[in-house]
Structure 1
Amino acid sequence: MRFAAKTLLFIFISSSALAQLPPEEAVKKLQSPAGAVVELFAAEPLLTNPAAIDVDTQGRVWVAEIQHYRGQAKMPPADKIKVLQDTDGDGRADRATVFAEGLFCPMSVCVAGPKVYVATSPDLWVFEDNDGDLRADGPPKKLLTGFGGHNHDHGAHSLVLGPDHKWWMAHGDGGFDVTGADGSHIKYQWGAMLRGELDGTRLETVAVNFRNPYELCVNSFGEVICSDNDNDGNQSARICWIMAGGDYGWFGHPPAKVPPGTPFGEHWHFRGHVPGFVPATLVTGFGSPCGICCYEGAAFPKLRGAALHCDAGPREVRAYRHTPSGAGMTATSELLITSQGDDYFRPDDICVAPDGTLFIADWYDGGVGGHAYNNPHQGRIYRLKPSVALEPPLAKPGPYTTASAALAALASPNLATQFLAREHLLATPAETVPALQSLVATAQPELAARALWLLDRIGGDARQAVVQQLSSKAPRDRELAVRILARHGEQYMPLILERLGDESPGVQREALLAIGQSPTDAGRQALLRYARGYRDGDRYLTEAMHIAARSNKAELFDVVSRPESTSLERFDLLQALDSDRAATMLAAELERASAPERVPAIVNRLSWIDSPQAGRAVWSVARNPQFGAEVRATTLKLVSRNLAGAWKPLRDDAGFDGDLRAVLVEPTLCGAAIELIAEHAITSQGDALIDLLADSSLKAADRQAAAVALARIRPAEAERKLAALAASPDDMTRHLTLDTLIRMQAWLPLADLFAAADEAMRRQIVGQMAHESAGAIALYKWIDSGKLSGALSEVAIAAAIKHPDTNVRVLYDRFVPEDRKPKRLGSDVSAAAILELAGDARRGREVFLRSAAAQCNKCHAIGGAGGAIGPDLTTIGKKYERAALLETILQPSKAIAPEYVPYLIETSAGQIHLGFVAQRDDREVVLKDAENRIMRIPVDQIESIEAQTKSLMPELVLQEVTAQDAADLLAYLTSLKGP
């Protein structure tokens, strides 16, 4: 087998380190909010590459240090857990103690008294330090195993302690299959939110279908928030507010094609607009979202209740505030910290200290993502504190031996301190229950909530305080009471079901989620009664009902589908419950739709239903002239998106070809119809496409599209029929005919045309052939064989030596005199030499857009313009500094983002395909190749599928440009910071 390499500027994820700042200078570049200051707490050599941090009750910072990351991981393992201390009180760490070493890429560190939890996929370890010397007492205990993502960021991530005295974990889409110490079992293919007891029992999957959440945070009310990363370059990173039992829509990949009219971000990437999947509360766009914490301290009153989040991609720390909206939440974002002038600042975790100040870990590297890095010897910890004097912490460091001390510690904003408080309070219930009950009645909301979790865990009569909160005047307290009591299965279900009649949509939501967690016949009946009064239009309530339905979906569908005049919003729930039945109803609704403005909304809902009936209903709109041209054109694109999948039976329907031909000749629909024909290789439309190509009354764009489609689908007899058009007196017909024959590589008809043509026609044939790579190679053979000589061979040579395809330029190089050859970088590219040159962003833009040597925009888009093969580069300047970006170009295979790993597929017929897996299920593999073509390969025809270690981007991509071109290109790319 031989594969022709194409020279494409295909930028992947890697990094380099040539422009770091000393710690004392780096901290000066950080910008913080008014009323706060950022100070340097620790830096190399005390630590390197902090991947996760925790802050203990003494205010010491524990660091999971990954110095040997991914591709550089050592065997035996050599990473460490360190403890950083400020022993002299000057605000700067002066001691680093190695707590444990010999770890393999630890992604978390969680301090729970004398026990320290560390996740290193596939294992969750527990270390102990019973003598308090900050050194592990001995080898760790393997608490759990079976977490996916070994040596991969898509596995077990940071552990945090919840107010329920459990551990919580965000897990990436490496999947997991874990059995607890008590036999409890959790398993899922993609990412999820997990929790369990500290002894490894009672494991639970809380919510599923995330891509790569780095961390979650749990506030005192048990509300969970996480960030979730997107595929590289898609600007779809999201913030999720977690509904227990919710499905968050990832499935290992985004849809293969973006549907027209769909908002790009989360709604496309994670199917957030599709009923049955819980939408994000916020789409943060470009980024590498990392650590997150809930802030409930007093040092920053304006941040109280917010989720604080590190995003290492754009080098930002943000605050997200969630506010109730119906049964769900809305969120806003506020920038807290960023760096102006230090492109190595990469915040990746944030934790609250006992005094309410914040510690922020900085990975400190020229880039993030793709499992690459090049700066293993640096890392920083910063501290954000108020600009005014701090009040000392109310609680002394634990552990605690009295109820009064523990109760004071329970009010701490620091999770490790709260844990030690709970340990004592749970161990002495007789002494502490009255005090906890008093807190519920008198304390501020967060502290009262923490007391309720403890009273529930103590159980017995103590739990009555939680039950009493079901009648609280505050909706949030009632939500919390339902959330807590739902953990006990059927025991409190009668009381919970009463809350379905609560005036608060949020309380109703929690009652519905409780039904989903513990299905009972009483719950089923209550759900059906509730559904009769179901209010349309609240998406989170819809998702809560879907979660509650579980095994009762058919019954719930029957109730919700009445009366017959169903509002479109109600179809959200119907689609989530039973998409096939919903399609039937929507099709009927479409037929009787009296208001034209309802049609697009109905069609949009149908487009996300995987059934032929839905497809036929949508196709009926596309082919019906009574609907507007804009609606029909959009509908055609929706048909095209699904025609290779669940809607494929449409192609076998009687009348489909005739209807498509009728649509094809409508001027306003011609372009969309041609796209559909080309995408799905509908060769029966070949003659119609030839007619369009030759129709001088049509728009030039439609004629050109018909030519491209013909070349792509290669219908039978097309070469012969096109050759007859080559002598057309119409210039455009003649040009398009030749262009199509060249793209089809119909060399025999072209040779015959050339032999019979006059000089002008021959010149046109040569010129058009030289424009295409395959045509230029054919001309080379004609020159070698003597078919082409004289002035016309010089025309071919002149065009070929400037050709965008490196293979063509190299092939023709022997025809170029040495003194006329440009001085290019060649195979010996010096990064240092390029970086020494000053770049011009304006000229670099020309290199990106128009350089025949680089061909950047063939694979990459900026601001929506360009190719869609590689990552979007609209914000690439935020992600990498100059040297790191150059390394991604020179060494594209050093680190390939998971979604851009090439796969080699061999079929049973002996065909070989190379590209990215855009989608994969038990029916087919959808592959996108380096020409951006989508190929759908049935699974039963695949002999082998193998991931490749080499990027599709050639490593010598810059060999055909000059050093100054490369410097200018870097200047342009690093200037791209987004809108």
Structure 2
Amino acid sequence: MNVFHYALPVLAAGVLLSCQSNRASQAAVVLTEEEKHLPENALYGLQAAANLQVGLFAHEPMLVNPTNIDIDAKGRVWVCEGFNYRNPLNPSNPYHPKGDRIMILEDTDHDGKADKQTVFYQGPDVNSALGIAVLGNKVIVSRSPNVLLFTDENGDGVADKKDTLFTHLGGEHHDHAIHAFSFGPDGKLYFNFGNEGHELRDKYGNPVKDVTGNIVKNDGHPYRQGMVFRCNTDGSEVEVLGHNFRNNYEVAVDAYGTLWQSDNDDDGNKGVRINYVMPYGNYGYTDEMTGASWSDPRLNREDSIPFRHWHLNDPGVVPNLLQTGAGSPTGILVYEGKLLPERFRNQLIHADAGPNVVRSYALTEDGAGYKATINNIVEGTGDNWFRPSDVCVAPDGSVFIADWYDPGVGGHQVGDLARGRIFRVTPSGDAAYKVPAVNLDTPEGAVKALESPNLATRYLGWMQLMSLGDNAIPALKKEYRSDNSRYRARALWLLSKLPAGNTYIQEALKDKDANIRITALRAGLQLKGDTIALVKQLVNDGEPAVRREAVIALRHNSSPAAPELWAQLARQYDGKDRWYLEALGIGADKQWEPFFNTWMKTVDSNWNTATGRDIVWRSRATSALPLLAKIITDPANDPDKSVKYFRAFDFHPEAGKLGILLSLLQAGHPQQARINVKVLGLLDPAHMRNNPVVQQALKIALAGVANPQEYLDLVGYYELKDKAPELLAIIRQTDDTKIQAAAMRLLLQLNGSATVQQALRKSPDRLIAALGAVGDKPSKDLLQQVVLNKQYSLKDRTAATTALGKGRSGEERLLQLLKKHQLPDDVKSVAVTIFKKTDRPEVREAASKYLDGLVVASSKLPPVADLLKMKGNATSGAAVFEMYCSTCHVVNNKGTDFGPNLSEIGSKLSAEAMYKAILSPSAGISFGFEGYNFKLANGTTLSGYIASQTEDDITIKVIGGISEKHKKAEIVEKKPLTGSLMPDGLGEGMGTEKLADVVAYIEGLRKG
């Protein structure tokens, strides 16, 4: 049956009108899984916060898969549908050839339920659109690779004209590319794209240059990964307001012009974050200088992966406002309405589809930045198919939630194409939906529209007031005198752009409200006024947030007065406020030498304080380098506790720092070996390996290092081929399997297979396991020699067979030995165990022919609907997971770090989605885990995914969790895999009972 219908729905008589915080009457209701998904039971699965209620505004078949919504001044809900979501990757899914729809849903009788539906536009060019913004009779639709602009010229709710704003934004309808636009209080558009947006081009395909002259492209010159933008309503004067995000899904702007957004982490790393977007900041998803992944080794790495994920210890990375753990963050807004209870007013409201929740973030000032606490608004406690994809404020102040409604969330697949819901959140007790009238005939009416909590209404008021010119000033001045700070800010933005705008800015710069002073400065900068004159008035402001804006305003300002103003602002840094420190860095961008040197003159010789050392650490001035060296070589300082200062050298050009780094190697520090270990990693071994100072420093470092990983790093970095005995000793003496594998890999790279072969003959103990952990062709060649050579003991050959059979290539090796009748009979029992566990049915069945049928053929599994009815045993499932899944996945720090970390997967996927992920992994490959076959110049082939890449290097993570770094020049061929690195057939290999058990186990892996 085609679920993509167009008929108006008739709401089932049993639909519950609203769910409230008191759910006692619902607690006794027990629903089957099938009943949970019926629209008449939609509200039984939701838990509203105290004093709130949730109503079901619309549901299937009126709409399916709502990806993004907006609400116009009439209170109508505009919906982007995603029925054709990622269809090229899921060709078995039904497809609507006419394309997806942009729809308008309306409640004509004001009972809180949609009863009228209009198709505004339908076409393949809006398939899976991820953003919609209604601006009067114009509608901006974000659907990669294009941003489309529709116009309804006659007001009938149907698009009459289509144009393009921007193009070349990532792949075809990619989730990590272009997202929604929103209208700012300054009359500009704000939007963002994720790390697959790549670049911005105009409607004709020409590269867009931002207002600083940089081509908008995430190639590191200067921007990386996801970005946040501002532009005029016609797409001109593009500004990049922040970069180096992963998948920043939507950006929200408050009345003062402050930006907020969320950002998704790499799957499984519990690092979802909420950001205050400090203008022009770097947000640390990849290394600022090289583009390397957060997982690559670096000095001063954070202890915890969720924080390491964002390079938070690096100078030049803006802090995160809040980290919320695992999730799939989507729409966000600033609630500046009055309908909801006080605790939600002027706060962020955010949808996170992964853990089935809509949250409010209560903001408070934190120095020059902010901090936040979480207040949940709606949770999917009874049905984890609740997937809030967006939130939007209506003209009456109620909040609408788009619910994608699916067993999983995003990625490359969709589990349900028949359903979708829109919910409406109001205070308890009143579900009626009455939209305030908008009267733009008078300036007072337009100002009233400007007060609306709804952006589309504000847009109408803003445009009308601008068109009135001088006639709008009396009404705006009256609004500016009101006691509502946010109304005042909106009025100020408009006043600043009308005649005599600078007069109002000058007055506002002296206002007692810090947020008004901030708004005034921002408005003045947009007018391209005298920046120095503006900053001078705020340089000694008592509020750190105001001084933050003042120092950022100095960015790229070449006035002779700018260095002294920056130095004045720098002297007010308190040594604790990272927000302020990063603002100083942004303000000094491209002018570090004059700014830093002026600050040094003002502090004279008293720079070596806690605050001074931080500024030295953050600085990119050449004159800061000897000061870093002085900090490091202070005999009272422990080099291991001063590691942040070593890391700071990575952010300076090679030419300026080389001499100072070499001097550090001869500093005569009491812990010189510890200094040498760190400094040697900062040098380029290709040019410094034969330097006598470096050679002597290496001897000291290697003799004094106690950490095996540091030893291996130095040996590998400097390619010290004379360290084979030491590497063998490390393998034999350590119990750390990762260290064993790293040492063996290094031994093979530096000394070749002959050295290892000779060592195996003398003492194979531990060397066999280390070879198995390496898993590449040379290591498997050596293991095969042991398996086939009966001069080795049966114990060693058994261990070698187990090690050889790891991974796909290992299974294929064993299968070839079987086919050639070369595998010795006394180790065939090991092969039976290996092939019983393989997730590839064809390999299992082929092996069974040569192993007397002992390898059981894969069993045919029942449909997912029947599997869902089974009650698996979670305890048994833990053992199944260890046997079948831990070779690629980590749970609670146990397992192999190859596929996504699954420690909290139960918070994100329903049981149905888990079954589908196991049974059809190629239908839903997590972003960042797309597989490739690589061929190297030396003939070696690798299968894995790209863990990190810079301009010169690429790190490939291969099955088994080992990362191999290669020069891009060494890669002669790179072919994307057509399916997942996790092949189909794992479920059949487990069998029905074990499959049900493992799903029961991973379903219980939830956020604690």
Q: How far is the alpha carbon of 1:892 from its aligned partner? A: 1.7
The equivalent residue for 1:746 is: 782
Q: Distance in 2 between matches of 1:155 and 1:183?
A: 16
1:478 aligns with 2:514: no
The equivalent residue for 1:360 is: 401
Q: How far is the alpha carbon of 1:406 from its aligned partner? A: 2.0
The one-letter code sitting in structure 2 at the alignment partner of 1:566 is: N
SS of the residue aligned with 2:1001? helix
* 1:323–1:803 distance in 2 versus 1, CA, 3 Å: closer
The equivalent residue for 2:181 is: 159
The equivalent residue for 1:11 is: none
Q: Distance in 1 between matches of 2:822 and 2:107?
A: 82
1:202 aligns with 2:244: no
Q: How far is the alpha carbon of 1:625 from its aligned partner? A: 10
Q: Distance in 1 between matches of 2:731 and 2:164?
A: 69
Aligned partner (choices 143, 150, 170) of residue 127 of structure 1: 150
The one-letter code sitting in structure 2 at the alignment partner of 1:431 is: N
Q: How far is the alpha carbon of 1:430 from its aligned partner? A: 3.3
SS of the residue aligned with 1:516? coil
SS of the residue aligned with 2:392? strand
Aligned partner (choices 659, 681, 685) of residue 723 of structure 2: 685
Aligned partner (choices 900, 904, 914) of residue 871 of structure 1: 900
* 1:821–1:891 distance in 2 versus 1, CA, 3 Å: closer
Q: Distance in 1 between matches of 2:672 and 2:994?
A: 49
Q: How far is the alpha carbon of 1:289 from its aligned partner? A: 0.8
* 1:805–1:48 distance in 2 versus 1, CA, 3 Å: closer
Q: For 1:726-737, what aligned pairs fall within 5 Å after superposition?
A: 735-736=765-766
The equivalent residue for 2:370 is: 329
Q: Any conservation in 1 of the 2:327–2:353 contact (CA below 8 Å)?
A: yes
Q: Any conservation in 2 of the 1:593–1:599 contact (CA below 8 Å)?
A: no
Q: Any conservation in 2 of the 1:770–1:799 contact (CA below 8 Å)?
A: no
The equivalent residue for 1:240 is: 275
Q: Any conservation in 2 of the 1:290–1:348 contact (CA below 8 Å)?
A: yes
Q: Distance in 2 between matches of 1:425 and 1:398?
A: 14
The one-letter code sitting in structure 1 at the alignment partner of 2:461 is: A
1:185 aligns with 2:226: no
Range moving further from structure 2, 150-159 or 669-678 = 669-678
Q: How far is the alpha carbon of 1:649 from its aligned partner? A: 5.7
Q: Any conservation in 2 of the 1:227–1:289 contact (CA below 8 Å)?
A: yes
The equivalent residue for 1:673 is: 711
Aligned partner (choices 927, 949, 957) of residue 956 of structure 2: 927
Q: For 1:29-44, what aligned pairs fall within 5 Å after superposition?
A: 29-44=45-60
Q: How far is the alpha carbon of 1:922 from its aligned partner? A: 1.9
Q: How far is the alpha carbon of 1:657 from its aligned partner? A: 7.5
The equivalent residue for 1:373 is: 414
Tell me the alpha carbon deviations over residues 422-444 of structure 1, each in whole angstroms, 9 at most, x when there is no partner.
22222223333122112212231
Aligned partner (choices 576, 585, 597) of residue 627 of structure 2: 585
The one-letter code sitting in structure 1 at the alignment partner of 2:584 is: M
1:94 aligns with 2:125: no
The equivalent residue for 1:594 is: 636
* 1:821–1:754 distance in 2 versus 1, CA, 3 Å: closer
Q: Distance in 1 between matches of 2:109 and 2:396?
A: 17
The equivalent residue for 1:843 is: 876
Q: Distance in 2 between matches of 1:408 and 1:192?
A: 34
Percentage identity across paired residues of the two chains: 29
Tell me the alpha carbon deviations over residues 101-124 of structure 1, each in whole angstroms, 9 at most, x when there is no partner.
114232222122222222223333
Q: How far is the alpha carbon of 1:255 from its aligned partner? A: 2.4
Q: How far is the alpha carbon of 1:810 from its aligned partner? A: 5.8
Q: How far is the alpha carbon of 1:188 from its aligned partner? A: 2.6
Q: Any conservation in 2 of the 1:686–1:710 contact (CA below 8 Å)?
A: no
Q: How far is the alpha carbon of 1:495 from its aligned partner? A: 2.9
* 1:666–1:752 distance in 2 versus 1, CA, 3 Å: farther
1:45 aligns with 2:45: no
Tell me the alpha carbon deviations over residues 47-100 of structure 1, each in whole angstroms, 9 at most, x when there is no partner.
111111111112111111222112359696611111111112221111111111
Q: How far is the alpha carbon of 1:932 from its aligned partner? A: 2.1
The one-letter code sitting in structure 1 at the alignment partner of 2:201 is: V
1:58 aligns with 2:74: yes
Q: Any conservation in 2 of the 1:245–1:516 contact (CA below 8 Å)?
A: no
The equivalent residue for 2:357 is: 316
Q: Structure 2 length normalisation: TM-score?
A: 0.84
The equivalent residue for 2:136 is: 113
SS of the residue aligned with 1:200? coil
Q: Distance in 1 between matches of 2:122 and 2:832?
A: 63
The one-letter code sitting in structure 1 at the alignment partner of 2:403 is: D
Q: Any conservation in 2 of the 1:675–1:709 contact (CA below 8 Å)?
A: no
The one-letter code sitting in structure 1 at the alignment partner of 2:311 is: R
Q: Any conservation in 2 of the 1:184–1:201 contact (CA below 8 Å)?
A: no
The equivalent residue for 1:730 is: none
The equivalent residue for 1:10 is: none
1:145 aligns with 2:167: yes
Q: Any conservation in 2 of the 1:877–1:976 contact (CA below 8 Å)?
A: yes
Q: Distance in 2 between matches of 1:306 and 1:722?
A: 65
The equivalent residue for 2:320 is: 280
Tell me the alpha carbon deviations over residues 921-950 of structure 1, each in whole angstroms, 9 at most, x when there is no partner.
222222221232222222333334343332
1:885 aligns with 2:914: yes
Q: Distance in 2 between matches of 1:52 and 1:372?
A: 17
The equivalent residue for 1:175 is: 198
* 1:143–1:179 distance in 2 versus 1, CA, 3 Å: closer
Q: How far is the alpha carbon of 1:616 from its aligned partner? A: 9.7
Q: Distance in 2 between matches of 1:50 and 1:488?
A: 39
Q: How far is the alpha carbon of 1:453 from its aligned partner? A: 1.0
Tell me the alpha carbon deviations over residues 210-264 of structure 1, each in whole angstroms, 9 at most, x when there is no partner.
2221111111111110111122222212111112222222347632425576143
Q: Distance in 2 between matches of 1:38 and 1:409?
A: 26
* 1:487–1:604 distance in 2 versus 1, CA, 3 Å: same
Q: Distance in 1 between matches of 2:258 and 2:737?
A: 57
* 1:624–1:453 distance in 2 versus 1, CA, 3 Å: same
SS of the residue aligned with 2:509? helix
| Unmatched runs of 5 consecutive residues or more in structure 1 | 1-16, 728-732, 756-760
SS of the residue aligned with 1:371? coil
The one-letter code sitting in structure 2 at the alignment partner of 1:933 is: I
Q: Distance in 2 between matches of 1:956 and 1:469?
A: 67
The one-letter code sitting in structure 2 at the alignment partner of 1:230 is: D
* 1:263–1:497 distance in 2 versus 1, CA, 3 Å: farther
Range moving further from structure 2, 448-457 or 889-898 = 889-898
Q: How far is the alpha carbon of 1:862 from its aligned partner? A: 1.1
Q: Distance in 2 between matches of 1:721 and 1:98?
A: 69
Q: Any conservation in 1 of the 2:365–2:371 contact (CA below 8 Å)?
A: yes
1:422 aligns with 2:462: yes
Tell me the alpha carbon deviations over residues 109-153 of structure 1, each in whole angstroms, 9 at most, x when there is no partner.
2122222222223333332334332222x1323244343343211
Q: Any conservation in 2 of the 1:265–1:283 contact (CA below 8 Å)?
A: no
Q: How far is the alpha carbon of 1:270 from its aligned partner? A: 2.4
1:550 aligns with 2:589: yes
Q: Distance in 2 between matches of 1:801 and 1:545?
A: 60
1:457 aligns with 2:497: yes
Q: Any conservation in 2 of the 1:829–1:959 contact (CA below 8 Å)?
A: no
Q: How far is the alpha carbon of 1:610 from its aligned partner? A: 7.1
The one-letter code sitting in structure 2 at the alignment partner of 1:967 is: A
Aligned partner (choices 227, 239, 248) of residue 262 of structure 2: 227
Q: Any conservation in 1 of the 2:166–2:200 contact (CA below 8 Å)?
A: no
CA RMSD in angstroms, aligned pairs only:
3.9
Q: Distance in 1 between matches of 2:391 and 2:432?
A: 21
SS of the residue aligned with 1:735? coil
Aligned partner (choices 763, 787, 800) of residue 794 of structure 2: 763
* 1:580–1:753 distance in 2 versus 1, CA, 3 Å: farther
* 1:207–1:117 distance in 2 versus 1, CA, 3 Å: same
Q: Any conservation in 2 of the 1:833–1:963 contact (CA below 8 Å)?
A: no
Q: Any conservation in 1 of the 2:563–2:595 contact (CA below 8 Å)?
A: no
Count of paired positions: 933
